[in-house]
Structure 1
Amino acid sequence: MTTTPNIEGIMLFEQPFARVPYENYRKVFRVTQKNIEKELGTLQTAAADLVRKAQTGAVAQEDASKAVEAMLKRTENLSARCLGDLQKNAGTPTLEVMRERLELLASVESVQSAASPEFDRWADTRLDRWLTDWALRSGKERTARKLAQARGIERLVDLELFSEIRRVEEALKKHSCAEALAWCSENKAALRKVKNPLEFELRLQEFIELARDRKLMEAIAYQKKHLIQWQETHSVQIQQASALLAFTPATAFGPYKRLYDLARWDNLVQSFRLAIYNLSTLPTEPLLYLAMYAGLASLKLPSCYIHETKNVDCPVCDPDLGLLAKEVPFSHHVNSTIVCRLAGKIMDENNFPLAFPKNGHVYSKEALEDMAAINDGTVTCPRTKETCHFTELRKVFIS
């Protein structure tokens, strides 16, 4: 019996895989477009001014010709510089990445069976991508790069994006907002569209650091230049921060003491990561975790958290995987599934359950037969040590 891959289910996990290079191309394209429009606006202003002077006779013909030639040369340089940078930085490389990723996704649609070697190879590549993604999110960039290089999947993982994330986060951990503010400037329109307050939080932190160092005049100037523009949406925070001019870290109390708390830098790291994930359409959890959540959700039962009934073959009962399982809801089964504590196998009509006559504990027929075969027909309950002959066991019917 052959089973076709669940393409719809597979694609649920692959949206970020295709979207990240697309969003990167859009960002670079918007920046280039903005620069071109700025340069063209300057040229249009210069051309209009030259026409006005020519109509009034305020410029000689020779000077006008030189001015036109200068504008033409500037236009040619603009085309070569801006369009060339777009092609170099985001054009061909990003388009090739997008093409390779889309081709990989398209290849799984032609697979006829989930048991075929083609699907196994595709699934192995996907697992390599997920492991690399986990390593990048966990700060193990060197490991991620070595894995990607060994598996030949450099274009299938977002190494450069996470390298940028790490660079900005390292600066924030060193109490510097410069790199994060530069990133906010590059993505100002996108952040404004989703109403993300990261830039304000960074500006507020820089003001707090000036107050901490008692650079009061610089703090006042900084507030006028960078915080007043947020007055309509963050007036309460700005008013509280203004009071820091009267309090030192040693004399601050209540909300002012919390503003001086160095733990705010850790919050900024988290805020930045959430912002860049949002703009890059990346999930906040590693893709590997999301896939494992889906599997654990189908297995998680209340009995997994009862010490006496733990099953060595149950992923939810496993000490490590169980930590992930805590995040997912319990599974709902229309029909009961009973697993033998001894053998770890499902008990059904072919491997039906048998109960001990006195304590009523239930185990599978296969496990008890194996025990009886090596003990002259005698079986022992591993929990209560009750012993009886195999023929004394009572058959249990699953309803």
Structure 2
Amino acid sequence: MSSSKLNIEGIMLFEQPFARVPCENYRKVFRTSQKNIERDLGTVQAAASDLAKRGILSSSGGEDDAIAAVDGMISRVENLKRKLTDLNVSAGQPTLAVMRERLVHLSAVENMQSTRDPDFARWADTRLDRWLVDWALRHGRERTARMITHERGVERLVDIELFSDIRRIEEALKRQSCSEALAWCSENKIALRKLKEYIELARARRNLDAIAYAKKHLLSWQDTHLAQIRQATALLAFSPTTNCAPYKRLYNPERWDDLIKAFRLAIYNLNTLPTEPLLHLAMYAGLASLKLPACYDKDTKNIDCPACDASLGKLAEEVPFSHHVNSTIVCRISGKIMDEDNAPMAFPTNGEVYSKEALEEMAAKNDGYVICPRSGEKCKYTSLRRVYIS
């Protein structure tokens, strides 16, 4: 039973991004609501203070002006209420529904005891659907992701809209436009260096526009990025065809690719998303538990071992070798584990060890004789000696 017992902590470790993404989305809703409240109520409070001040200073009172000011405050508060209601209906409630469904999905596995539980098999199938959608979205296959999502009914368990935004912003960056990325940074309060747009203005020799842009966007970072700002300022003195290494590097169009990578890393970190697809991480974990030096020796490869497989073996190259506190001995002939029920048997001369089941089957086909696949030694089955695992 121990081998089939569920590792709840290990499962939940993989599910952190699954629960975190809708929380980040709801945080954005809360922040937007807070900004609207602070802005509109601040205006109402200022108008109320002004009205009170005028009422004290003016003996005539200005009744018509006071009524107009109060009506304006009421109108602004009603507009604020409508904004908050619309925001709650369009984003708040759907996000809460997503959070609720995901937490219910995660809580279901805590009541399962074994990997052999039919409920866990269904839960794992849903998890695999989520991972496949995640893989498809990360590789730009949005249509495939939406098809899987619709067919499997996992709309609230995947993050299609998040990856759609990532793709939209990356497409804009590929067109050498920072506007989408800067809007995203403003929304998420993440410091993105605004140097790329400045460089493009310098490349077009629009020096006055570049200077204005630097004053607006770059000077605020002088306390932390003064060296980069100085270099950017000096860039205006060099043409895009310069051979001066520091400035040639700044003009290099490949820096847009670096910006795309930096943006993707930033948005992944914000949502605690791993840089690799979850499907890959799960496969890495499985391969790491199986990978042995024998997997890379042509004489000891096991046809039933995923780490020995030609295609999966490529992925296995990136993970460390497995470490077993208690060794598992596998028969080179059958690929089955040797234990008390399938004892290891050794040849009398060379000491090569194979499983009892495999040697019995070989002896039945060869009139009681067995042949070592590695050395070619031949002997009677009765001459074999049993090996005891300590």
- Normalization by structure 2: what TM-score? 0.92
Q: What letter matches 2:171 in structure 1?
A: E
Counterpart Cα distance in 2 of 1:367 and 1:107: 42
Aligned residue pairs total 388
Question: Is 2:210 aligned against 1:208?
Answer: no
The farther-off stretch of 13-22 and 243-252 is: 243-252
Counterpart Cα distance in 2 of 1:370 and 1:129: 44
Q: What letter matches 1:115 in structure 2?
A: R
Deviation sequence 1:87-145 (CA, Å, 0-9, x none): 12222211111111111122222335432222221121111111111211222111111
CA apart distance, 1:356: 4.2
Matched residue of 1:328: which SS? coil
1:146-161 equivalences in 2 (<5 Å):
146-161=147-162
- The 3 A distance-change label for structure 1 pair 329 and 4 is closer
Q: Which residue matches 1:22?
A: 23
Counterpart Cα distance in 2 of 1:247 and 1:385: 75
Counterpart Cα distance in 1 of 2:69 and 2:341: 93
Q: Which residue matches 2:327?
A: 336
1:257 to 238, 248, 259: 248
Q: Which residue matches 1:293?
A: 284
Question: Is 2:36 aligned against 1:45?
Answer: no
Q: Which residue matches 2:80?
A: 78
Mapped contact 2:346–2:385 kept (Cα < 8 A) = yes
Q: Which residue matches 2:183?
A: 182
- The 3 A distance-change label for structure 1 pair 239 and 154 is same
1:28-67 equivalences in 2 (<5 Å):
28-57=29-58, 60-67=62-69
Deviation sequence 1:314-335 (CA, Å, 0-9, x none): 1222233223333333222222
CA apart distance, 1:210: 1.6
Question: Is 2:357 aligned against 1:366?
Answer: yes
Question: Is 2:341 aligned against 1:350?
Answer: yes
Question: Is 2:230 aligned against 1:239?
Answer: yes
The farther-off stretch of 334-343 and 248-257 is: 248-257
CA apart distance, 1:360: 4.3
1:280-319 equivalences in 2 (<5 Å):
280-319=271-310
- The 3 A distance-change label for structure 1 pair 367 and 4 is closer
CA apart distance, 1:229: 1.1
Counterpart Cα distance in 2 of 1:209 and 1:388: 79
Matched residue of 2:299: which SS? helix
Q: Which residue matches 2:262?
A: 271
CA apart distance, 1:254: 2.1
Counterpart Cα distance in 1 of 2:302 and 2:113: 35
Counterpart Cα distance in 1 of 2:13 and 2:212: 50
Counterpart Cα distance in 1 of 2:231 and 2:299: 54
Mapped contact 1:4–1:111 kept (Cα < 8 A) = no
Q: Which residue matches 1:68?
A: 70
Q: What letter matches 1:140 in structure 2?
A: R
Mapped contact 2:328–2:337 kept (Cα < 8 A) = yes
Aligned-residue Cα RMSD (Å) equals 2.2
- The 3 A distance-change label for structure 1 pair 116 and 204 is same
The farther-off stretch of 100-109 and 24-33 is: 100-109
CA apart distance, 1:390: 3.4
* Consecutive unaligned residues in structure 2, runs of 5 or more: none
Matched residue of 2:163: which SS? helix
The farther-off stretch of 174-183 and 349-358 is: 349-358
Q: What letter matches 1:204 in structure 2?
A: L
Deviation sequence 1:246-273 (CA, Å, 0-9, x none): 2223223322222222221122111111
Q: What letter matches 1:338 in structure 2?
A: I
Matched residue of 2:309: which SS? coil
The farther-off stretch of 37-46 and 352-361 is: 352-361
- The 3 A distance-change label for structure 1 pair 4 and 395 is closer
CA apart distance, 1:386: 4.4
Q: What letter matches 1:326 in structure 2?
A: E
- The 3 A distance-change label for structure 1 pair 114 and 359 is closer
Q: What letter matches 1:37 in structure 2?
A: E
Counterpart Cα distance in 2 of 1:166 and 1:377: 66
- The 3 A distance-change label for structure 1 pair 205 and 252 is farther
Mapped contact 2:36–2:80 kept (Cα < 8 A) = no
Counterpart Cα distance in 2 of 1:75 and 1:144: 42
Overall identity of the aligned pairs, in % = 67
* Consecutive unaligned residues in structure 1, runs of 5 or more: 192-196
Q: What letter matches 1:225 in structure 2?
A: K
The farther-off stretch of 135-144 and 382-391 is: 382-391
Q: Which residue matches 1:120?
A: 121
CA apart distance, 1:4: 5.3
CA apart distance, 1:67: 1.7
Counterpart Cα distance in 1 of 2:307 and 2:248: 43
- Normalization by structure 1: what TM-score? 0.90
